[in-house]
Structure formats: C-alpha cells, structure tokens
Structure 1
C-alpha cells in the first residue's frame, strides 16, 4: 500500500505573510479580509499573521521573495487584482506576477500561494472576491495552510 501524505487544514502554530497589492484595493481588501478570516477560522493566531502592502501586482513577487527568504514565515499568500480594462498592459502585469510568484516558491521552497485575480471586468473580480463565484482570498488561505503542513511532512527542517 502506498504511503499517502496530505497537508492538514489546521493552522495552529503557522506563521503567514500576506502580500497585498494596493492597486484595485476595493477588490484586494476583500481578498485580504477573506484570507484573514479563513486563517483565523483554521487556527492561525492573529499575532502570527503579517500583512505587507505593495503598490501593484507587479511588485508582489519582490515582497514575496523577501518574506519567503526571511525564515519568518511558513507560507506567503499573494493577493492582487489585475483587471483587463484597468491597464493597457494586462498581459505583462498578470504574466509577470504569475511567473514571479512561481519563481519565488521554486527558489525558496516556501509555499507561495497565487491569489492574484486576473479578470476582464470589475464585476468578475468582485464576484471572485466574495461574490457568486466564491472567495479566492479564503481559498488562498486554505491552500497556504495545507501546503505549509505538507511541507513539514515532505521537507522537515
């Protein structure tokens, strides 16, 4: 029989950094609120949560790298909203954020969670930030807890 490992959703004792874009803050603040609420519900202590605001989604990977490399956090959650109608260079910003976040996770080995919305409209973004299409902030928080716990099993320090 195969040995099966899964990260639990128990956040007790985990330290989490949320890197949040101020651009489209009317959306990102909702993502942050949902992520913080989920972290709390899953047992992460308020004192173990740090929020780092950055100007925009393109700056998220840099701050995520600082956080992941610091040794202070078990996971990093990246929250942003890139809305096609808001910027003429949508593909560059969204693609750069995605690639940068992936690169930070691969380089550091710390779970770095992609919670950056990439939508065509404001309505779509709001729908994914607690509207009819769920709450991507909450989902990112759950993924951060699960991956941090799985990392402890696969790569104990």
Structure 2
C-alpha cells in the first residue's frame, strides 16, 4: 500500500497547531471586511492550540502589497505558515482586474519561492454583501468566514510539508 502523507480525516478545527507559529499579513483596504477575516483566522488558530505569542500580524495598505510582505515574512524562517488576508470588491473601473489576479499569482509565486505555505485569504467579490457573507463573525449574517478556513489550511499544509520533508 502506498504511504499517505496527507491527512484526509482532518476536518475543521481538528487540526492540532500546538507548537506552531503563524504569520498573518492583512490589508487595510476594505478594513471592515479584513478585520472580520483576521478575527476568524486568529480565533481558529487559538482553537487549534496556538497562543497569542505564536501569531504575528503585519498590516499592509492593500491586496497588491500582500505578496511581497508575505514572502518576506515566510522567508524569515520563524513561521510554519503565513496567511495573506485581503478583500477586493469589483467597482466601476478596471482596478479589480489589476489587483485581484496579480495578488493571487504573487502569493503563489512567493510560497513556491520560499517553500513555506502562504495561504490566500483574499476575497474577490462583486459587492460588500458578498464580502460580509464570507467574513461572518458571531453569526451576524448567514455565511462563513474564509479567514477561519485559511487558518485551518495553513496548519494542515504545515503538517503535510513536515511529513513530506521527513519522508
């Protein structure tokens, strides 16, 4: 039977993050939404066993600045994973296209370059309502919190990479 390096039975907040360190880079643009995503991420990380001292947050102006800051943070060697949080809402100009795609591609390039998981938690939505539905806190609206999902993904990917590196 083939060796299984992944954790197909891990779901939700069952990922054990005890002893892990996670960095978060959060965009100030659309701050109401990114604050909610950040809260979802940090609450989930704490539920998974991280202490406040295990979580560092760096703020950047917007989603376009996330890849560079996330790459530098991940490249320090202090973090098992990094989460990049932002929100790009489509408007009447081409701004959405110029920011959303390059930010996602930049984050992918950054994680491949430093070989540390950098989880994309950048909402790309049509309007504010969609953003709020994807950044629920305290059940204020029906939906979920993509920041929380990103935290789970970060911890799971850190564990998978640990197993792959040990072989």
**What's the TM-score once normalised by structure 2's chain length?**
0.90
Instruction: Give matches, 1:5-154, under 5 Å.
Output: 5-7=5-7, 9-85=15-91, 88-130=94-136, 131-154=141-164
**Displacement of 1:86:** 7.5
State the Cα deviation string for residues 48-106 of structure 1 (Å, max 9, x = none): 10000000000000100110111111000000000002864101100111000000111
**Displacement of 1:44:** 1.1
- Return 5+ residue gaps in structure 2 as ranges: none
Q: Name the CA shift for 1:86/1:129 in 2 (closer, same or farther; >3 Å).
A: farther
For 1:136 and 1:38, the matched residues in 2 are separated by: 11
Q: Name the CA shift for 1:101/1:29 in 2 (closer, same or farther; >3 Å).
A: same
For 1:55 and 1:154, the matched residues in 2 are separated by: 35
**Displacement of 1:134:** 1.0
2:91 alignment partner, SS class: helix
**What's the TM-score once normalised by structure 1's chain length?**
0.95
Off by >3 Å, runs of 4+ in structure 1: none
RMSD: 1.5
- Return 5+ residue gaps in structure 1 as ranges: none
Bigger strand share: 1
